[in-house]
Chain A
């Protein structure tokens, strides 16, 4: 109840107990190792490159983080990327307008998100199954409509969207930063964010308390769909083409990064900050290994190990916390004068 009194000590203990600290340290350690093994790693150009790479995961991952916090999952984000490329490039080639191209993709994102949300909320189906289904459907749609052949963008300006800069900073990174702040604020300071955590923590209780559970689920899926398609447009723009196989396996990369960032797959626990650091860790790893000329096959193996290791260390941390609680109980016993 003394929230006004924030001493330096309490700030420190807050950081010490926070879930993110461990991740930040892991990220720093990783960066130090990479900078020691490769001189290029810390160069401005490399950092910007890396962040631009991360921005693709992050723009989609911020939306997916909200879905996971809500206690659901979306496996269809990879396939949605292919749809995003198709919608934007086809619209671009037909109209010549980049704005319309982006809008078309975002509208499609809202549509596929709404479909996922509707099936989960109103159809009362398990989101893992529903999005496994839509994942397959959208990939199929992408293949059928293109005969599995990529479509080139007819207007080269389209490419600047994903490869351009504002000053020294890539466009994608700017978009990522804006979205990060916006979603962080929403989760932290708005009713909408509170409801996401409430529903993710106890859906039954949220329903009984009269929260608009179904509406929230549909809305969050729409947001996730729009952001996923935005990331898909950035990807298509960088390749200056729509690839029907774009984003294949992407969902696993994003989900892995989010879990690495301490977001519980059961919902309700974690935050956008942790998820972002998870994405950075995987981004740094990928970038560093590429600089070291490690083949992408080995990179897959390394990424898998890091994910398992991180989750394991997190379990160790939780176990230590549980031990601390037991110790507190014993102290409590002692205080009551009945200790052994």
Chain B
């Protein structure tokens, strides 16, 4: 690998309002190389990809393609340079055929009429390259995820891609499909195609990567050959410290059962039974799509309850009444902050008080000083970084937005049970530790906390008890001492 790298990045910075997403990143990629990017969520991997592929424009830094300054201002420029990205959510039109997707926007035509035969012949050529043996006329919606992925790769090849970026390509594949994907990747390498491979699955990375670059908090920790390190060392590079350090000591002081759920069933979850005690942090673990978020929707009455009962502090919560659930003392911090959490047109203050306005209302109007007082207290208590309480919430960093959403519920005087779905998604490590210690304090003050999380270390580090879900059902229950990554995964998969 002495020749010129196909991609060279040096001192790359990317700055969004309130977030310094990339801080002087350097990275290179050679022809025929599989270069893996690893790092926690929010470490900067996807930002880098988006710069490489022209979705974002870098704030500053060097970007060379084949030794020449890259002129990429638009995703189309990147495609012209031979860079194509296969995103986790595939980018295909499901109502069109595989062939039409491969040549999307470039259908071979003569005098305005599509030459179907040529289209199918050409498509078949590229489909063979990726080992796809279906008819090019098949509509994409009838293909499996693995086949759809291969259609995407065929599309990249037909575009003359020299660099293919794969974002979590195996997250929805069976082990057998993963194996055949790796075979294709090996063939692509032989043809001189370079691959940037992003994955959380470390065993895969050790299997196929030629080099590994580790990201943390928007910077590169290091680039290593897989022979140089083992899985444990890689994790330590990613996390930057021993995992134990970011979790507070849990000294749970458990009280009586505050929330008792029996046989809860909706269209998406079946026979969910669990309980949470005062002062307890209970985790819900499981793979993507296991029905954990759907469980929270069922609990809070957002999805139609078909069967089962929810008893909060001795009081039965009637079905399908989200308003009563909230009024009785349940709160929810959602998984997708932007979609279901923040009110983007409103200030930090208004976002915080929206569910407890009745506590600061005098007569018919909101008391300005009363509202500002409680908000000021919360900002101090949770150490929320914002210039003023009137700042619009989208201008805050992810961690601070999350704190505002926590504060929204903490303000409610009768809050008894707080459901937090993915408490630290898209939050940097420093803010994570703060959120953990806050959750610990809240439990100490007698709140019952339900924590849904995909991150096993977080579940193991925080929870007094863990339920594991799979296909909309609870498949296991562990207390703190019994829980281990292996045990939780076992129940999540089988």
Contacts and interface: CB of A to CB of B under 8 A. Distances in A.
B15 A333 contact: yes
Contacts of A333: 13, 15, 59-60
Contact of A205 (B15, B342, B376): B342
Given A205-B343, A209-B408, A1 B354 contact: no
B354 A3 contact: no
Candidate in B59, B300, B390 with the most chain A CB atoms within 10 angstroms: B59
A339 B24 CA distance: 11
B345 interface: yes
A198 interface: yes
A262 interface: no
Given A198-B350, A340-B60, A3 B17 contact: no
Contact of A201 (B17, B340, B344): B344
A269 B344 CA distance: 10
Nearest to A212: B323
A190 B15 contact: no
B323 A210 contact: yes
8 contacts: A1-B388, A189-B366, A190-B365, A202-B344, A202-B345, A208-B340, A338-B60, A339-B60
Interface stretch (B36-44, B63-71, B356-364): B356-364
A269 B366 contact: no
Contacts of B332: 208-209
Contacts of A185: 365
Given A1-B379, A189-B365, A191-B361, A209 B355 contact: yes
A191 B354 CA distance: 8
B389 interface: yes
Contacts of B24: 338
Contacts of B372: 3
Given A1-B389, A189-B366, A201-B346, 18 more contacts: A1-B379, A3-B388, A3-B390, A189-B365, A190-B365, A191-B361, A191-B366, A194-B354, A197-B343, A198-B354, A202-B340, A202-B342, A202-B344, A209-B408, A210-B323, A210-B355, A268-B343, A332-B15
Contact residues on A (Cβ < 8 Å of other chain), bracket:
35 or more
A336 to B, nearest CB: 8
Contacts of A16: none
B2 interface: no
B358 A191 contact: yes
B339 A200 contact: no
Contact of A190 (B300, B341, B364): B364
A325 B17 contact: yes
Contact of B339 (A191, A197, A205): A205
Interface in B150-191: none
A247 to B, nearest CB: 31
A181 interface: no
A230 B354 CA distance: 32
Nearest to A204: B340
B5 interface: no
Contacts of B366: 189-191, 194
A339 B60 CA distance: 8
Interface in A229-288: 268-269
- Main DSSP-derived SS at the A contact region: helix
Contacts of B361: 190-191
Nearest to B296: A208
Interface in B62-109: none
Candidate in B332, B345, B368 with the most chain A CB atoms within 10 angstroms: B345
Interface string A90-124: 00000000000000000000000000000000000
B375 to A, nearest CB: 9
B69 to A, nearest CB: 14
A207 interface: yes
Leading 6 A-B pairs by shortest Cβ distance: A210-B326, A201-B345, A268-B345, A189-B365, A191-B357, A201-B343
B219 to A, nearest CB: 12
A205 B341 CA distance: 5
B444 interface: no
A200 B388 contact: no
Contact of A200 (B16, B345, B354): B345
Interface residues of B, number: 42
B6 to A, nearest CB: 25
A127 interface: no
A197 B302 contact: no
Contact of B346 (A1, A198, A207): A198
A190 B327 CA distance: 19
Contacts of A207: 302, 322
A123 to B, nearest CB: 17
Interface string B1-29: 00000000000010111001000100000
Contacts of A191: 357-358, 361, 366
B59 A194 contact: no
A313 interface: no
Given A194-B350, A198-B350, A212-B323, A269 B388 contact: no
A325 B379 CA distance: 24
Interface string A161-204: 00000000000000000000000010001110011011011101
Interface in B347-397: 350, 354-355, 357-358, 361, 364-366, 368, 372, 376, 379, 388-390
B394 to A, nearest CB: 10
Contacts of A200: 345
B302 A208 contact: yes
A212 B20 CA distance: 38
Contacts of A269: 345
Given A3-B372, A194-B357, A269-B345, A210 B325 contact: yes
B334 interface: yes
Contacts of B358: 191
A37 interface: no
Contacts of A206: 343, 354
Contacts of A330: 59
Interface in A293-340: 325, 328-330, 332-333, 336, 338-340
Given A1-B388, A202-B343, A212-B323, A197 B365 contact: no
A69 to B, nearest CB: 10
Contacts of B339: 202, 204-205
B350 A197 contact: yes
A28 interface: no
Nearest to B409: A209
Contacts of B345: 197, 200-202, 268-269
Contacts of A36: none
Nearest to A185: B365
Candidate in A207, A269, A338, A339 with the most chain B CB atoms within 10 angstroms: A338
Contacts of A332: 15, 20
Contacts of B302: 207-208
